[in-house]
């Protein structure tokens, strides 16, 4: 048997071993291009939205991002807290439900919360909270900004009626970039 | 051996298939998210998924890839797809005549170069008759091409058989990106006339469409021997449409089709006849007609899963008058599912079925023993991309199992590792196996390689030497080891380097066999060997008005015959096919926007010496070709927002240049200097 033939016969074994090692070594943190982009979108959304004065109870209050449910971002949110929105320092909160998140300015609802989305949205209705999610049909169900993929690129659908109802002014230049506005 | 492989079928995965984009990487801080500082319009231009396969940025591919963009094509002044491919490192592109090219990846150059798989919008244009691509049948409106992805090295795990040394993915724009009209007209000496028309529009809230026509008329070149007219003029005419719809935010569909009719003059040489003088040349022509239609649907499901279904039908008829005629009808169905398993495994699984029906008309020159063939190919693949270290280290394992009527089951596994120690540096390494399945000619064909008078007492018949197909001919095999490094220094400077070592087995070789009319040759899996090489690409944009692209490729091949009984190498010297590709190739492209509405583009490339094969002497004919330089230059004037005028010069250093000698049909032809002017009007 030539070394070449030996190699070919051994190749599947090597691959299987590599696979085993990989499966063990792999850790559970998730992250990727998609959520890095989504994180950057979130920051841009907040910069192009105007909150009513009463959304900030005191001068110098932080600008609060909340992640509701299982965090899909992982390290994609690293560096977010070093940013400023409207001159305010950004703070990031993780919460199991909206009850823990009364002071959120931007609320990202994870796909893990799909089953009780209606209750989550009901809890913030009429309050100046910019709700964002990548749950399919989010904007139709009363969410404000829904991530969608268009032509292989990340885009979003804006429910501007809901934004206005919540007391939020979404800048026209942001609405112009949306895949759909209603 | 194969059964051992099958056991691990499910253990496989790789991520190469993925459509690649040149997403710019910011020279980011080493931790955190480099996109946070980008504005929304930039972010919305980053492709994250694509219809064909899972998306990857160029910097994230564990393979040797090079992307030729629409802008590269526009600025180069090329008028055909194969000419555009000369921009990529690692490919050997040489023009044989006005309508014929030798395009190969990492060696094995030739008109019938057979180790490169070519896809146009997901449709394979690899010909089953000789296992290669007839470039004179592959066309589209060049302005509608979004990009051409050139992937060197084996891609069998995802793409299937015959992606031995590379895959070329020609991807046209979505119809949402081609709204409005385009009219192009041009004229020149070699590029006698050219015309292109496209109109695209939004058809309703969720559907876009376009239609196009393109026409080219090319003039004759010059024969290398004697300087006579090479009689190789070529007219190509093609039209088509594309519709894209997004009925819902999470689903999209595409329906597209093309029809073409091309005709070319050609000199058939060598053209063997049964009487004296036996070896002749014949003025003849070729007619090519074809049509295809393709539909694709993709739907994203909850939890990040996605399903893609694609089907196409392709008809083509190639009539090389006085030589052969063949018709192929191909039906292809593919399905692919993407899902994740846990937090760190991303699976892509898929299956496909292809039916190819062929019909042949035999001549004294070429015969196929079975004038009606029908071949079925079915396949399945799985790949798993595993995150080993978050954001730093990925392993992709995969394999394809494919069954064809000739050689049965073929298994093509691969393993790829990608390491990104920081955001703008990536290292990758891979091991992969790929096969090239036998062509119809290699199994069932006969090609006349010589005719001659026989001595008495046999002088009542004409002696002939055919190259005969062999039903026992098996797949050629490669195991490739590759590694590479990419560095995006900043938004102005990037480097890409790839190195490979390929081990080939069971390569085709011609073996003499006696026949009733002389001596024939038959295809056997009688050669083996290795190749190694290096490819480099550097991209530098020192200022907003200047850009430079430098590529260099090195290739070394050692192939020898193997005695089928002893397994020992027969010859010390390397086989002719190993010498038919240049060792060194280099190219420099410069783009200068020297005034607000003026651009100029210069392209110099060098191809090292090769040894061509003398098609009139199948036994030992070798013709050395010197290395040569080609220089193209053009001037673009954006006269108005709608009108662009371009003056193009190609092959400016020489009156005419012999780039390659075909091993089949065509006499050695020097490609003439070419100058043309074109106007492009957008509205």
CATH number of domain containing B596: 2.40.170.20
- Closest Cβ–Cβ partner in B19, B39, B48 for A153: B48
The token pair at B431 is 């091991």
CA distance A52 to chain B (A): 23
Band of residue A118 on the pLDDT scale cut at 50, 70, 90? confident
CA distance A91 to chain B (A): 15
- Percent of all residues in chain A with a pLDDT value above 90, rounded to a whole number: 18
Provide the number of CB pairs (under 8 Å) joining chain A to chain B.
168
CB contact under 8 A, B32 and A149: no
Measure the CA–CA gap between B383 and B49, rounded to whole angstroms. 17
| pLDDT, tens only, B91-109 | 999 999 999 999 999 999 9
Looking at beta carbons, which residues of chain A come within 8 Å of B390? Answer: 27, 29-31, 74-75
Mean pLDDT within B309-313:
97
Q: Judge whether residue B290 has pLDDT over 60.
A: yes
- Percent of all residues in chain B with a pLDDT value above 90, rounded to a whole number: 65
List the beta bridge partners of residue A77: none
Closest residue of chain B to A136, computed from CA coordinates: B302
Bridging pattern class, strands B166-172 and B117-120: parallel
List the beta bridge partners of residue B199: B181, B211
| pLDDT, tens only, B639-680 | 998 999 999 999 999 999 999 999 888 999 999 999 999 999
Bridging pattern class, strands A106-109 and B393-404: unpaired
The residue among B5, B39, B44, B45 with the most chain A CBs within 10 A of its CB, best to mutate, is: B44
- Closest Cβ–Cβ partner in A36, A76, A157 for B249: A157
Looking at residue B627, its pLDDT comes to: 96
Task: Tell me, yes or no, if A1 comes closer than 8 A to chain B by beta carbon.
Answer: no
CB contact under 8 A, B479 and A8: yes
Looking at residue B284, its pLDDT comes to: 95
CB contact under 8 A, B31 and A78: yes
**Residue among B585, B549, B619, B500 at smallest CA distance from B75:** B549
Looking at beta carbons, which residues of chain A come within 8 Å of B413? Answer: 11-12, 15
- Closest Cβ–Cβ partner in A15, A28, A80 for B397: A15
CB contact under 8 A, A29 and B390: yes
Closest residue of chain B to A4, computed from CA coordinates: B503
CB contact under 8 A, A15 and B1: no
Looking at beta carbons, which residues of chain B come within 8 Å of A2? Answer: 567
Task: Tell me, yes or no, if A172 comes closer than 8 A to chain B by beta carbon.
Answer: no
The residue among B11, B12, B36 with the most chain A CBs within 10 A of its CB, best to mutate, is: B36
Higher pLDDT, A25 or A86: A86
CA distance B623 to chain A (A): 33
CA distance B427 to chain A (A): 18
Looking at residue B28, its pLDDT comes to: 37
Looking at residue B22, its pLDDT comes to: 38
* Cβ B444 vs Cβ B460: under 8 Å: no
Range of the domain at B300: 2-682
Measure Cα distances from B9 to A12, B87, B475 in Å.
9, 37, 20
Bridging pattern class, strands B445-453 and B425-436: unpaired
Measure Cα distances from B645 to B181, B185, B680 in Å.
16, 10, 6
CB contact under 8 A, A111 and B55: no
Closest residue of chain B to A34, computed from CA coordinates: B48
Looking at beta carbons, which residues of chain B come within 8 Å of A148? Answer: 249-250
Looking at beta carbons, which residues of chain B come within 8 Å of A37? Answer: 35, 43, 46, 48
Looking at beta carbons, which residues of chain A come within 8 Å of B347? Answer: none
CB contact under 8 A, B60 and A153: no
Q: Judge whether residue B499 has pLDDT over 60.
A: yes
Please give the ipTM for the structure prediction: 0.74
Looking at residue B37, its pLDDT comes to: 79
Measure the CA–CA gap between B486 and B501, rounded to whole angstroms. 19
In chain A, where are the structural domains located?
Answer: 33-181
CB contact under 8 A, B479 and A37: no
Q: Judge whether residue B324 has pLDDT over 70.
A: yes
Task: Tell me, yes or no, if A112 comes closer than 8 A to chain B by beta carbon.
Answer: no
Q: Which of B156-170, B325-339, B565-579 has the highest mean pLDDT?
A: B325-339
What does the DSSP 8-state code read for residue B437? P
List the beta bridge partners of residue B418: B394, B428
**Quick one: B25 exposed, middle or buried, by C-beta within 10 A (0-12, 13-18, 19+)?**
buried
Q: Judge whether residue A8 has pLDDT over 70.
A: no
Closest residue of chain A to B530, computed from CA coordinates: A4
Least confident of A10-19, B312-321, B353-362: A10-19
The residue ranges of DSSP E strands in B121-190, in sequence order, are 123-124, 145-152, 166-172, 180-188
Q: Judge whether residue B614 has pLDDT over 60.
A: yes
List the beta bridge partners of residue B95: B101
Measure Cα distances from B347 to A24, B415, B615 in Å.
17, 14, 48
Task: Tell me, yes or no, if A146 comes closer than 8 A to chain B by beta carbon.
Answer: yes
Bridging pattern class, strands A84-85 and A88-95: antiparallel
CB contact under 8 A, B8 and A12: yes
- Structurally, chain B folds into a number of domains equal to 1
3-state secondary structure of B233: coil
Looking at beta carbons, which residues of chain A come within 8 Å of B249? Answer: 136, 146, 148-150, 157, 179-180
- Closest Cβ–Cβ partner in A7, A41, A79 for B479: A7
Label residues B208-219 b or e (16+ Cβ within 10 Å = b). Answer: bbbbbebbbbbb
CB contact under 8 A, B176 and A76: no
CB contact under 8 A, A33 and B391: no
**Residue among B601, B610, B651 at smallest CA distance from B630:** B651
Task: Tell me, yes or no, if A57 comes closer than 8 A to chain B by beta carbon.
Answer: no
Task: Tell me, yes or no, if A167 comes closer than 8 A to chain B by beta carbon.
Answer: no
CB contact under 8 A, B35 and A37: yes
Band of residue A179 on the pLDDT scale cut at 50, 70, 90? confident
Looking at residue A177, its pLDDT comes to: 85
Count Cβ atoms below 10 Å from residue B569 Cβ, excluding itself: 14
CA distance B533 to chain A (A): 19
Band of residue A136 on the pLDDT scale cut at 50, 70, 90? confident
Q: Judge whether residue B361 has pLDDT over 90.
A: yes
CB contact under 8 A, A152 and B389: no
CA distance A60 to chain B (A): 23
Give the list of residues 6+ apart from residue A87 with CB closer than 8 angstroms, or none: none
Distance of CA B643 to the CA centre of its chain: 32
Q: Judge whether residue A145 has pLDDT over 70.
A: yes
CB contact under 8 A, A174 and B5: no
Kindly report the average pLDDT of chain B as a whole number.
Answer: 88
What does the DSSP 8-state code read for residue B448? E
| pLDDT, tens only, B146-183 | 999 999 999 888 888 889 999 999 999 999 889 999 99
Measure the CA–CA gap between A118 and B534, rounded to whole angstroms. 58
What is the DSSP annotation of A33-94?
HHHHHHHHHHHHHHHTEE--GGGS-STTPPEEEEEESS---GGGGTTGGG-EETTEEEEEEE
Band of residue B27 on the pLDDT scale cut at 50, 70, 90? very low
Looking at beta carbons, which residues of chain B come within 8 Å of A111? Answer: 302-303
- Percent of all residues in chain B with a pLDDT value above 70, rounded to a whole number: 91
Looking at residue A16, its pLDDT comes to: 62
Looking at beta carbons, which residues of chain B come within 8 Å of A4? Answer: 479, 503, 505, 528
| pLDDT, tens only, A53-103 | 888 877 678 899 999 888 888 888 888 888 888 888 888 888 776 556 667
Whose tokens are 């090479």? That residue is: B230
My answer on whether omega of the bond before B270 falls inside 30° of 0, hence cis, is yes
Looking at residue B9, its pLDDT comes to: 25
Mean pLDDT within B593-601:
92
Give the list of residues 6+ apart from residue B526 with CB closer than 8 angstroms, or none: B507, B508, B509, B511, B561, B562, B564
Measure the CA–CA gap between B198 and B183, rounded to whole angstroms. 7
CA distance B500 to chain A (A): 16
Whose tokens are 């500082």? That residue is: B37
Label residues B366-389 b or e (16+ Cβ within 10 Å = b). Answer: bbbeeeebebebebbbbbbbbbbe
**Residue among B176, B185, B234 at smallest CA distance from B214:** B185
Task: Tell me, yes or no, if A78 comes closer than 8 A to chain B by beta carbon.
Answer: yes
Instruction: Classify domain A33-181 at the CATH topology level.
Output: Rossmann fold (3.40.50)
- Closest Cβ–Cβ partner in B8, B44, B344 for A153: B44
Measure the CA–CA gap between B409 and B377, rounded to whole angstroms. 10
Give start and end residues of each alpha helix (H) in B437-535: 440-444
Measure the CA–CA gap between B103 and B108, rounded to whole angstroms. 9
Looking at beta carbons, which residues of chain A come within 8 Å of B49? Answer: 149, 152
The residue among B1, B20, B40 with the most chain A CBs within 10 A of its CB, best to mutate, is: B40
Cα torsion for B4, B6, B12, B17, to the nearest 10°?
A: 120
CA distance A79 to chain B (A): 5
Closest residue of chain A to B208, computed from CA coordinates: A151
Give start and end residues of each alpha helix (H) in B303-348: none
């Amino acid at each position: 048997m030539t070394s070449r033939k030996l190699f070919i016969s051994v190749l599947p074994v090597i691959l299987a071993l590599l696979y085993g090692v990989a499966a063990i070594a792999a850790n559970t943190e998730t992250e990727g291009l998609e959520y890095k982009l989504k994180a950057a979108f979130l920051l841009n959304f907040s910069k192009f939205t105007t909150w009513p004065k009463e959304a900030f109870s005191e001068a110098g209050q932080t600008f609060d991002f909340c992640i509701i449910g299982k965090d899909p971002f992982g390290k994609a949110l690293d560096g977010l807290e070093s940013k400023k929105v409207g001159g305010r320092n950004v703070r990031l909160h993780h919460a199991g439900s909206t009850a823990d998140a009364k002071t959120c300015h931007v609320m990202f609802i994870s796909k893990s919360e799909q089953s009780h989305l209606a209750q989550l949205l009901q809890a913030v209705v009429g309050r100046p909270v910019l709700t964002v999610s990548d749950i399919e049909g989010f904007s139709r169900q009363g969410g404000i900004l829904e991530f969608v993929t268009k032509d292989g690129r990340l885009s979003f659908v804006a429910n501007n009626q809901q934004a206005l109802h919540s007391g939020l002014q979404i800048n026209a230049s942001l609405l112009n970039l949306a895949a759909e506005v209603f | 051996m194969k059964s051992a492989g099958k056991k691990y079928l499910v253990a496989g995965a790789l991520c190469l298939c993925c459509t690649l984009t040149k997403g710019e990487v910011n020279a980011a801080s080493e931790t955190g998210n480099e996109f946070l500082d980008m504005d929304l319009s930039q972010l919305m231009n980053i492709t994250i998924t694509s219809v064909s396969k899972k998306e990857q940025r160029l910097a994230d591919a564990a393979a040797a890839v090079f992307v030729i963009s629409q802008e590269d094509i526009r600025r180069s002044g090329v008028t055909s797809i194969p000419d555009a491919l000369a921009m990529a490192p690692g490919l050997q592109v040489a023009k044989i005549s006005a309508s014929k090219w030798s395009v190969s990846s990492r060696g094995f150059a030739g008109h019938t170069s057979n180790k490169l798989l070519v896809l146009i919008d997901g449709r394979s244009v690899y010909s089953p008759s000789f296992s290669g691509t007839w470039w004179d049948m592959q066309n589209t409106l060049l302005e509608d091409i979004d990009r051409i992805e050139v992937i060197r090295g084996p891609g069998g795990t995802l793409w299937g058989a015959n992606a031995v040394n590379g895959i070329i993915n020609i991807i046209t724009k979505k119809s949402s990106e081609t709204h409005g009209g385009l009219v192009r007209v041009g004229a020149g000496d070699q590029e006698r006339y050219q015309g292109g028309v496209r109109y695209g529009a939004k058809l309703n809230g969720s559907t876009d469409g376009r239609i196009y026509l393109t026409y080219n008329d090319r003039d004759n070149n010059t024969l290398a021997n004697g300087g006579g007219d090479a009689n190789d003029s070529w007219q190509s005419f093609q039209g088509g449409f594309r519709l894209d719809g997004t009925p819902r935010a999470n689903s999209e569909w595409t329906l597209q089709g093309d029809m073409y009719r091309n005709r070319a003059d050609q000199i058939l040489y060598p053209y063997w006849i049964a009487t004296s003088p036996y070896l002749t040349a014949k003025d003849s022509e070729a007619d090519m007609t074809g049509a295809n239609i393709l539909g694709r649907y993709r739907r994203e499901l909850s939890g990040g899963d996605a399903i893609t279904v694609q089907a196409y039908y392709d008809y083509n008829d190639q009539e090389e008058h006085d030589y052969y005629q063949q018709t192929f009808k191909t039906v292809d169905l593919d399905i692919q599912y993407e899902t994740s398993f846990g937090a760190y495994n991303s699976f892509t699984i898929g299956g496909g079925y292809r039916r190819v029906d062929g019909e042949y008309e035999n001549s004294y020159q070429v015969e196929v023993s079975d004038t009606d063939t029908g071949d079925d190919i079915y396949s399945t693949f799985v790949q798993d991309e595993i995150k080993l270290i978050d954001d730093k280290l990925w392993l992709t394992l995969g394999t394809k199992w494919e069954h064809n009527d000739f050689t049965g089951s073929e298994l093509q596994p691969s393993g790829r590792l990608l390491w990104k120690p920081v955001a703008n540096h990536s290292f990758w390494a891979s091991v992969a196996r790929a096969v090239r399945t036998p062509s119809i000619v290699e199994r069932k064909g006969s090609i006349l390689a010589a005719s001659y008078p026989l001595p008495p007492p046999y002088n009542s018949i004409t002696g002939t030497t055919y190259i005969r197909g062999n039903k026992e001919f098996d797949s050629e095999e490669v195991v490739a080891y590759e590694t590479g490094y990419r560095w995006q220094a900043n938004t102005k400077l990037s480097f890409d380097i790839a190195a490979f070592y390929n081990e080939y087995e069971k390569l085709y070789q011609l073996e003499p066999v006696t026949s009733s009319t002389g001596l024939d040759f038959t295809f056997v899996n009688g050669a083996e060997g290795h190749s190694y090489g290096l490819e480099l690409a550097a991209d530098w944009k020192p200022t907003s008005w200047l850009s430079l692209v430098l590529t260099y490729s090195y290739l070394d091949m050692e192939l020898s015959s193997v005695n089928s009984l002893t397994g020992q190498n027969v010859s010390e010297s390397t086989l002719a096919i190993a010498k038919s590709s240049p060792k060194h190739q280099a190219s420099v492209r410069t783009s200068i926007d020297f005034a607000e509405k003026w651009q100029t583009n210069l392209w110099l490339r060098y191809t090292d010496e090769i040894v061509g094969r003398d098609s009139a002497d199948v036994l030992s004919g070798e013709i050395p070709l010197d290395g040569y330089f080609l220089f193209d230059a053009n001037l673009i004037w954006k006269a108005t927002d709608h009108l662009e005028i371009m003056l193009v010069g190609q092959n400016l250093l020489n009156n005419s240049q012999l780039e390659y000698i075909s091993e089949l049909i065509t006499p050695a032809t020097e490609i003439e200097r070419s100058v043309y002017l074109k106007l492009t009007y957008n509205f």
